[in-house]
Amino acid sequence: LRTLLKGGMIYMPDGFRRMDISIAEGKVFEVAGNINENNNYEKVIRCDNFFIMPGLIDVHVHFREPGFEYKETIATGSRAAARGGYTTVCTMPNLKPAPVDEETLKVQTDIIRKDAIVNIVPYGAITSNQSGRGRLSDMQAMADDVVAFTDDGKGVQKDTLMSQAMLTAKSLGKMIVAHCEDEHYPTEDPRSEWNQVARDISLAMMNDCAYHVCHVSTGESVDLVRAGKGAGVDVSCETAPHYLVFSSEEVPDEGRFKMNPPLRTAKDKAALLAGIKDGTIEIIATDHAPHSAEEKKGGFADSLFGVIGLETAFPVLYTQLVKKGEISLEHLVQLMSVNPARRFSLPGGSLQVGAPADIAVIDLEAQYRIDPQTFSSKGRSTPFSGMEVFGETVLTMVAGRIVYER
Ligand SMILES: [Zn+2]
């Protein structure tokens, strides 16, 4: 199948340029000015008013299948991803069964093969029951089919267990990805996060292991990662859109503002933005975590942790960060596509000739109010509900195949 996207602003490492891009056999075939459209294309799409970027990549989503299909499935989650401009996502292992060995991982990869419309690369669990405690999972048996190892949702409590996990991951050429939560403190206490970030960075240094911190929410964590990088540790981190837009001082008593880690102070929010600007935080992930309406209706005290994010991340960040002059559009593309592809060795993140044709076409002029009733996700609970934003996905393409069209 040969497709030609004509006249759009195309993301290149040195910035956006108005060009044409042709796709053949699932790959970027040519990027140039004025490609002849009478050249055997099955489809020619005018993109004059649109921006064309490498498909977004989310290294932190919960698709809930197998085990919790009433919250989300591989099919609905991947449709939400496509609608949000995402072409590759990495799914967290808090499933039933959790991927802890070859057999349990296969339950999930069989469904992915059948139902996914974007690239889905699962994580394997660190521990044998994905609890942050006990003994290690069968990491070796899963290594070929997982992006990395994590017990997301649970911090690994014992230093010795984390150290073992790092040594095993390293021997398999994989990264340890950590939800940092020291259970000696309540989650509202920022120490619950940064205490483990501090411990893990020293363990990563000692064990010479590649290490990534999930959903960084505190200023102290940003400082620790910055210092770790300065000391030569192979450490990276992500934050999520909600931590960059809201702070704890302004949170209404509604389940759609409840997630773990929680929203922190305005000072933390400013520290996260500073971390993005100086490159300490090189990835933005959504932590897309759908629940049923019933599970999120109980106000702050009685709702489950987690909000969805795939269908709002780009427009929210474009509106709140790029349009307000905090970061450039190019930097946003790096945070949401180029950097996660590089750090996690995932497909995409580039529109150079020969790259997989994983592409998002975005209409940056489109202005609308976020309405969860229009979502493809089964989840509806988002702190961004009702927010006025710019930027709408026009088309998403995975390996040259159109998986979403406005
Ligand atoms: Zn987490």
The model's confidence at residue 189, banded by pLDDT at 50, 70 and 90, is: very high
The 3-class secondary structure across the chain, one letter per residue, is CEEEEEEEEEEECCEEEEEEEEEECCEEEEEECCCCCCCCCCEEEECCCCEEEECEEEEEECCCCCCCCCCCCHHHHHHHHHHCCEEEEEECCCCCCCCCCHHHHHHHHHHHHHHCCCEEEECECCECCCCCCCCECCHHHHHHHCCCECCCCCCCCCHHHHHHHHHHHHHCCCCEEECCCCCCCCCCCCHHHHHHHHHHHHHHHHHCCCEEECCCCCHHHHHHHHHHHHCCCCEEEEECHHHHHCCHHHCCCCHHHCCCCCCCCHHHHHHHHHHHHCCCCCEECCCECCCCHHHHCCHHHHCCCCCCCCCCHHHHHHHHHHCCCCCCHHHHHHHHHHHHHHHCCCCCCCCCCCCECCEEEEEEEEEEECCHHHCCCCCCCCCCCCCEEEEEEEEEEECCEEEEEC
Q: pLDDT digit string (tens) for 304-353?
A: 999 999 999 999 999 999 999 999 999 999 999 999 999 999 999 999 99
| Region 38-46 average pLDDT | 92
Ligand 1 centre distance from Cα of residue 152 (Å): 5
The pLDDT mean for the chain works out to 97
Q: What is the pLDDT of residue 1?
A: 75
Ligand 1 centre distance from Cα of residue 84 (Å): 21
Ligand 1 centre distance from Cα of residue 398 (Å): 27
Asked if the model's pLDDT at residue 129 lies above 80, the reply is yes
> Is residue 200 annotated as part of the catalytic site, yes or no?
no
Q: What is the pLDDT of residue 158?
A: 97
Ligand 1 centre distance from Cα of residue 158 (Å): 18
Ligand 1 centre distance from Cα of residue 345 (Å): 21
Q: What is the pLDDT of residue 38?
A: 87
Q: pLDDT digit string (tens) for 226-237?
A: 999 999 999 999
Q: What is the pTM assigned to this prediction?
A: 0.98
CA dist., res. 45 & res. 357, Å (int):
15
Ligand 1 centre distance from Cα of residue 63 (Å): 13
Q: pLDDT digit string (tens) for 247-291?
A: 999 999 999 999 999 999 999 999 999 999 999 999 999 999 999
Q: What is the pLDDT of residue 39?
A: 82
Asked if the model's pLDDT at residue 382 lies above 80, the reply is yes
Q: What is the pLDDT of residue 40?
A: 86
Q: What is the pLDDT of residue 71?
A: 98
Ligand 1 centre distance from Cα of residue 394 (Å): 30
Percent of the chain scored above 70 by pLDDT?
A: 100
CA dist., res. 70 & res. 174, Å (int):
32
Q: pLDDT digit string (tens) for 94-109?
A: 999 999 999 999 999 9
Q: What is the pLDDT of residue 43?
A: 95
Ligand 1 centre distance from Cα of residue 25 (Å): 37
List 101, 152, 287, 358, catalytic entry? 287
| Region 346-366 average pLDDT | 97
Ligand 1 ion: Cβ-proximal residues, 5 Å cutoff: 152, 179, 214
